[in-house]
C-alpha cells in the first residue's frame, strides 16, 4: 500500500480534488477484464481526478482513457508523447509487474521500471512537484547526497530499489518543500508554493540553486 506516501505528497497540491472511489476503479477493471496492480489503484485513488497532476510533466491517462494495445495496458505517455507507458497483459497477475514503455519507431516494448510499486512512488512525487510554481535544481553527487540532506529533508519512502543509480528519490520538509533526486542525472529538484522556502533551503544546503 502506498497510501501513507501519497498522503504526504498530497499536502503539496495547490488544487486538491476528491479521491476517486475504488468502486469506479473496480468497474474499469471489469470493463477491461484485467486486475490492476495495487500501487496503480492507490495512485488513481489519490490523483485520478486531478488532471493538473496527471498532465503536469508526463501525460498520464484518466481511468476511462486506458487502452489495451500491442498486448499491453496503456495508461500514459512519456515526455512529449515520445512513447507510451504500459503493463504487459501477461504480467498483470504479478504482485509488482514491470512498467514498460512502447517505442513507436522500434515497435517494441522496453522496461521503464522493474517494479510498478517503485514507478508509482516516483511518478506521484515528480508529477506533483511539476505542478508547483517555484522549482529549482542543483547538481549533487549521489555519494554526497545523504550527508548534504541529513537533517534538512526527510525521505518520503525508505524503500530502496535494487539498483540505486537508476532511480528517483523523493524528499520533503514539513509542508514547505517537495523534492526529487534524479539519480542518473545526479540532480536534486526542489519545489515549493512560495519562493522564500526555496531560498531558505538554499541557505541550509549551502548550495547555489538554478531556478527552473
Per-residue pLDDT of the chain (212 residues; tens, 9 = 90+): 799 999 999 999 988 899 999 999 999 999 999 999 999 999 999 999 999 999 999 999 999 999 999 999 999 998 777 789 999 999 998 888 999 999 888 889 999 888 898 899 999 999 999 999 999 999 999 999 999 999 999 999 876 554 444 578 999 999 899 999 998 899 999 999 999 999 999 999 999 999 99
Strand locations in the chain (E): 59-60, 67-69, 72-77, 83-88, 99-103, 108-113, 134-139, 154-155, 168-173, 177-182, 187-192, 210-211
pTM exceeds 0.85 for this model: yes
What are the extents of the domains in the chain?
3-118, 134-211
Going by the DSSP 8-state scheme, the letter that residue 68 receives in this structure is E
Correct CATH for 134-211 of 2.50.20, 3.30.310, 3.40.50, 3.30.530:
3.30.310
Give the C-alpha distances (Å, rounded to integers) separating 119 from 40, 45, 102, 111, 197: 9, 16, 16, 11, 28
Cα–Cα dist 196/75, whole Å: 36
Cα–Cα dist 91/72, whole Å: 9
Radius of gyration of the chain (CA): 17
Please determine whether the domains at 3-118 and 134-211 fall in the same fold group of CATH.
no
pLDDT in tens, 78-122: 877 778 999 999 999 888 899 999 988 888 999 988 889 889 999
The CATH classification number of 3-118 equals 3.40.1580.10
Residue (of 171, 178, 155, 159) closest to 119 by Cα position: 159
* Spatial contact of 13 and 178, defined as CB atoms under 8 Å apart: no
Amino acid at each position: 500500500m502506498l497510501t501513507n506516501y501519497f498522503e504526504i505528497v498530497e499536502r503539496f497540491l495547490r488544487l486538491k480534488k476528491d479521491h476517486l472511489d475504488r468502486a469506479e476503479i473496480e468497474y474499469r477493471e471489469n470493463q477491461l477484464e484485467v486486475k490492476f496492480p495495487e500501487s496503480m489503484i492507490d495512485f488513481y485513488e489519490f490523483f485520478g481526478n486531478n488532471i493538473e497532476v496527471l498532465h503536469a510533466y508526463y501525460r498520464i491517462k484518466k481511468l476511462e482513457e486506458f487502452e489495451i494495445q500491442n498486448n499491453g495496458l496503456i495508461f500514459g505517455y512519456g515526455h512529449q508523447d515520445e512513447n507510451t507507458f504500459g503493463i504487459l497483459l501477461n504480467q498483470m497477475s504479478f504482485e509488482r509487474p514491470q512498467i514498460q514503455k512502447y517505442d513507436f519507431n522500434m515497435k517494441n516494448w522496453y522496461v521503464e521500471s522493474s517494479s510498478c510499486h517503485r514507478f508509482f512512488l516516483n511518478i506521484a512525487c515528480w508529477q506533483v512537484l511539476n505542478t508547483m510554481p517555484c522549482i529549482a535544481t542543483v547538481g549533487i553527487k549521489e555519494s554526497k547526497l545523504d550527508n548534504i540532506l541529513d537533517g534538512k529533508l526527510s525521505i518520503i519512502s525508505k524503500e530502496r530499489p535494487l539498483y540505486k543509480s537508476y532511480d528517483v528519490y523523493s524528499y520533503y520538509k514539513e509542508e514547505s518543500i517537495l523534492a526529487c533526486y534524479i539519480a542518473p542525472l545526479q540532480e536534486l529538484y526542489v519545489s515549493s508554493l512560495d519562493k522564500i522556502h526555496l531560498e531558505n533551503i538554499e541557505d541550509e544546503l549551502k548550495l547555489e540553486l538554478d531556478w527552473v
